[in-house]
Structure 1
Amino acid sequence: MEALMSNWLNPVETVPEKYIFPADKRPGSHAFPVMHDIPLIDLQNPNPQHITQQIIDASQRFGIFQVINHGIPASLMEETMAVMKGFFAGPAEYKASLYSTDIAKICRIYSSTLNYDSEDVHYWRDNLTHHCHPLQDHIHLWPQHPPTYRQVVGAYAVETRKLMVRILEAMCEGLGLKPDYLEGEMTKTQLISVNHHIPCPDPTLTLGMPQHTDPNLITVLQQCSVPGLQVLRHRQWMDVPPNPAAFLVVPGLQLKVMSNGKFWSPIHRVMTHRGEARTTIGTFLIPSNEIVIEPADDRPAVYRGFTYGEFFSCFTRSNCDADTALAFFQTNSESTSLSHV
């Protein structure tokens, strides 16, 4: 069977054995509670200090929040989503020409995870990932199908970067830092990562993405109307209701370290859906491999300094487990745990 699920003949009538998780790993048929209290922050609030305080509070208590009136036109969000869906519905041969599990490749599509050939069970997803910044250095390597891909996604990449920088500036101000504290090498790399999940005949047996914590600086996610995202909070999985008009903001592990343990970065995963395909667009800001990440305030440091390259190497060696990776860089001043969310 071909690796790229978007090239399979639809509908899929039964779940292939390679995609069925062991009984203790699969989600099962029980209903999950819904996370109705995710903070919703209006970025057009006339009081900037109020916005900053809401962002700080949400980053500390939830590790996740939504923003509305964010300045990105609804038309651009809709166009970008349509282009992404068009890409995954496009010619199989063209998508196959972009297939790669090489993390160094600027633009690639792959299925499940980058370990597809060696993993015991596959996740129910295709993923398209490419670099975005500086735009002129990367756009010529992006997909050419649909024909408007580069024009539409290029505009989207510029606007989502502005949004993430604005949120980071508010975070810095709320922590008593200069607004530009996280500019430059801290936000050097920008990635767009698009997950596409075709309809699954039995979602109780499968997972769309593994549980994980984002290792980068910050993520903004544009969801479609189809549910699937779950966050681990108070030691139970909770459904995150989709809001296609909002961006979901997820502080990454580097913000947890930079804030000296004040911010949380949530463990999350993705469920599959029986009736509809699900496409989501994630945009990530990632520090350069050489930049030193360390707590920004003068309290006793929870973490010692490290380069992002050093951290990411440790993160991948620990099977992308955040607790294991962060424990390697913890000092003895305080114990922290990601189980908060």
Structure 2
Amino acid sequence: MKLICDFPSPKSLPDKYVLPPEERPCNHELRDDLSVALPVIDLQGALGDGRRQVIGDIMKAGKEFGFFQAVNHGVGEDVIQGFREAAAEFFRMPAEAKLKHYSNEHNKHCRVFSGSVTSHTDTNDIRYWRDCLKLRCYPVDKLMHHWPSQPETFRERLAKYAVAVQELAQRLLRLIAEGLGLDSQFFEGELTGGETMMNVNYYPRCPEPSLTLGIRPHSDRYILTVLSQGDVSGLQVKHKGRWIGVQPMRNAFVVNFGLQLEMVTNGVLTSVEHRVVTNSAKARMSVATLIRPNMGCRIGPAPVMVNGKTSYRPKYRDFTGTELIEAYEATAGNREALLEMFRIHHTK
């Protein structure tokens, strides 16, 4: 039981992290200069006369990319960098201090794990090059006592960060609702009322980036993910059949739509596959905040998104948050496989 960040620096990749050739990133996909850029949306405009323009930009980004970068989002640089520093300090702590949080039990409120297993069924499971601190981060008062107490600043800084990002996510969802012609408060309540999850992902320097990945290709399962990716590249998004790199922007958030949102919007907005590549020069840390539904609530296409016309028939059946999680685990985050589990096949 050991985290990758506590390994002595290897000169070659241990066998259990070497992916089959067809699953490895191509050499040209490891460059930082992949050409297509994600839309960058200035959210400050949504506070005034530019609101309609911002909403239009979010809708366009959601339909074409499923992703965008948000700037002037209202979360203070001190809040973002303060928590990132505390999280980085957590991974620098001695191995024994981190490993007291180690667990492979998925339902724990806070756990550290390493090298997520691939979906291969053979006995020698292959692993991805990532350490992760996974915790429930909101509502803060209810969950704070589960968080690591070391380093000393961790809980205080996470509390500020979690509240600020939660407020940002709700602002974004109000803009999305307006863009879809829904009531601005449509996504408030049970659709976003579950305990918010956070993955603090740490990708140590990798001796052979062309042989492995940090995270497999997947779509996120819930309604919205807000990511602080720091200043080291690695996140890649599938766009028109190829992988494009998401260039880091200081204090920007990368926002992406999840499978839950795609089904609630009856396919109008898209949940796009993404992955993480590693590099040999620098460690990378990202902080992903995932807005979740209440597990027992009913989820399905919003009534305003469907009507009697053939082209607007509901594409997906209703389901619960628990069913969504079970389907996600069964399909290992594969977008098409999961959507098929909920798809309605209409007869003419």
* TM bin (shorter chain): over 0.9
Matches within 5 A, 1:215-234: 215-234=221-240
Matches within 5 A, 1:1-341: 2-9=1-8, 11-31=9-29, 34-45=34-45, 46=48, 47-113=50-116, 120-188=125-193, 189-296=195-302, 297-299=305-307, 300-333=313-346
One-letter amino acid of the structure 2 residue matched with residue 81 of structure 1: R
Number of aligned pairs?
Answer: 332
List alignment gaps of at least 5 residues for structure 1.
335-341
Q: 1:119 to 1:71 in 2, by over 3 A?
A: farther
Residue 69 of structure 1: how far off its partner (Å): 0.4
> Relative to total residues, which structure has the larger helix share, 1 or 2?
2
Note the alpha carbon deviations across 1:169-196, whole angstroms, 9 max, x for none: 0111111111111112211221111100
Note the alpha carbon deviations across 1:150-177, whole angstroms, 9 max, x for none: 0001000000000000000011111111
Note the alpha carbon deviations across 1:322-341, whole angstroms, 9 max, x for none: 2112112112359xxxxxxx
**Counterpart secondary structure, 1:196:** strand
Q: 1:333 to 1:59 in 2, by over 3 A?
A: farther
One-letter amino acid of the structure 2 residue matched with residue 122 of structure 1: R
Q: Which range moves more in the overlay, 114-123 or 132-141?
A: 114-123
Note the alpha carbon deviations across 1:83-124, whole angstroms, 9 max, x for none: 111000112111111001111100001002267996621110
Alignment partners' CA distance in 1, 2:118 and 2:126: 10
Note the alpha carbon deviations across 1:203-223, whole angstroms, 9 max, x for none: 111111111100111001001
Instruction: Compute the TM-score of the two structures, normalised by the length of structure 2.
Output: 0.91
One-letter amino acid of the structure 2 residue matched with residue 4 of structure 1: L
Alignment partners' CA distance in 1, 2:123 and 2:203: 21
Residue 30 of structure 1: how far off its partner (Å): 2.6
Note the alpha carbon deviations across 1:243-301, whole angstroms, 9 max, x for none: 13210000100110111100011101100110110000000101111111111123311
Alignment partners' CA distance in 2, 1:118 and 1:287: 35
Is the 8 Å Cα contact of residues 102 and 114 (structure 1) preserved in structure 2? no
Q: Which range moves more in the overlay, 281-290 or 307-316?
A: 307-316
Alignment partners' CA distance in 1, 2:276 and 2:59: 26
Is the 8 Å Cα contact of residues 118 and 128 (structure 2) preserved in structure 1? no
Is the 8 Å Cα contact of residues 190 and 285 (structure 1) preserved in structure 2? yes
Alignment partners' CA distance in 2, 1:242 and 1:124: 20
List alignment gaps of at least 5 residues for structure 2.
308-312
Q: Which range moves more in the overlay, 312-321 or 239-248?
A: 312-321
Is the 8 Å Cα contact of residues 222 and 244 (structure 1) preserved in structure 2? no
Alignment partners' CA distance in 1, 2:169 and 2:296: 21
Alignment partners' CA distance in 2, 1:298 and 1:266: 22
Greater than 4 Å deviation, 4+ residue runs:
114-119
Partner residue, 2:310 = none
One-letter amino acid of the structure 1 residue matched with residue 328 of structure 2: F
Is the 8 Å Cα contact of residues 101 and 115 (structure 1) preserved in structure 2? no
Is the 8 Å Cα contact of residues 266 and 306 (structure 2) preserved in structure 1? no
**Counterpart secondary structure, 2:209:** coil
Alignment partners' CA distance in 2, 1:206 and 1:19: 6
Note the alpha carbon deviations across 1:6-47, whole angstroms, 9 max, x for none: 2222x3322111111122211142345625331111111131
Alignment partners' CA distance in 1, 2:16 and 2:138: 36
Q: Which range moves more in the overlay, 253-262 or 105-114?
A: 105-114
Alignment partners' CA distance in 2, 1:237 and 1:93: 38
Residue 237 of structure 1: how far off its partner (Å): 1.4
Partner residue, 1:339 = none
**Counterpart secondary structure, 2:172:** helix
Alignment partners' CA distance in 2, 1:130 and 1:324: 27
Alignment partners' CA distance in 2, 1:98 and 1:25: 31
Instruction: Compute the TM-score of the two structures, normalised by the length of structure 1.
Output: 0.93
